[in-house]
Amino acid sequence: MKIKVGKFLIESLDDKVIQILLKKRNKIIWEGNISDIEITFYLPEKTISRVPSMILVLPVEHLPINIVNRHDNGEIKNLYEYLVSHGSVENLHSIFTAGAVSHSTIRKETEINKAKLREKRVIEKENKKEEAKKERAIKRQIRAEKAKIDLANRRRRAGCKEMKEEKYTCTVCHTVWYSNDMDKIKNIHNALTLSNYSVNHMKDISRCPKCGSRASSHKTVTYWVDKKGNCVDREE
Ligand SMILES: [Zn+2]
């Protein structure tokens, strides 16, 4: 079957499949099973609209195509008969409700769009749920690890004396020095090159004892010292 009708060229590839082309541009609009086509309007004679026509609804998101043939020599009728005899679904409106065809198609489209939106929302909701679940699991893990660390710290620091000192770092030469009153405590910091005594007696504690720069950063460091005077833990 090969029918030129209106601006379309409709050609069967076999008993089941047809191609609908735009005649002018030789562009394929659709190719598929004849049984997937729904005929929603069929007017073979020049009556109300004065032009024989047929509306096909293709399964591509219910795309309606209006086939109009001004100088019809029975092409519309031939096409209709061919499609119906090869399995197209007839869903004909009467001529008088023909105006409702495109209307119902618009409604259909709206329904499809709504369904799509609903589906999208459902997916988004699911994704959000999934993300929230993952986030909760991560938070739980972090909390558990923190609790573990806290417990280990508490055990290690049990019975110890907590002491603090000020740590300074020279931003010019990177020398590190401390200000504290823990002369008697052993093993606290190996990095310290100056004795605590000399540092504690510096006039300006924030001034670098090596290069004399006043540009230094400062942190408070906490130490846990056991009864023998050993530093068992340190936190800055
Ligand atoms: Zn310095």
The whole-angstrom separation of Cα 98 and Cα 105 is: 12
Task: Give the pLDDT score at 212.
Answer: 85
Cα 195 to ligand 1 centre (Å): 16
Among 2-16, 21-35, 89-103, the range scoring the smallest mean pLDDT is 89-103
Task: Give the pLDDT score at 190.
Answer: 40
- The yes-or-no verdict on residue 126 having pLDDT over 50 is yes
Cα 223 to ligand 1 centre (Å): 25
Provide the 8-state DSSP code for 102: H
The whole-angstrom separation of Cα 211 and Cα 193 is: 14
pTM (2 d.p.): 0.42
The whole-angstrom separation of Cα 56 and Cα 51 is: 16
Give 234 or 182, the one with higher predicted confidence: 234
pLDDT digits over 102-119, tens only?
445 666 777 888 999 999
The pLDDT-based confidence of 184 (bands split at 50, 70, 90) is very low
Task: Give the pLDDT score at 182.
Answer: 56
Cα 210 to ligand 1 centre (Å): 5
Give domain 2-97's CATH architecture.
Answer: Roll (2.30)
Cα 229 to ligand 1 centre (Å): 30
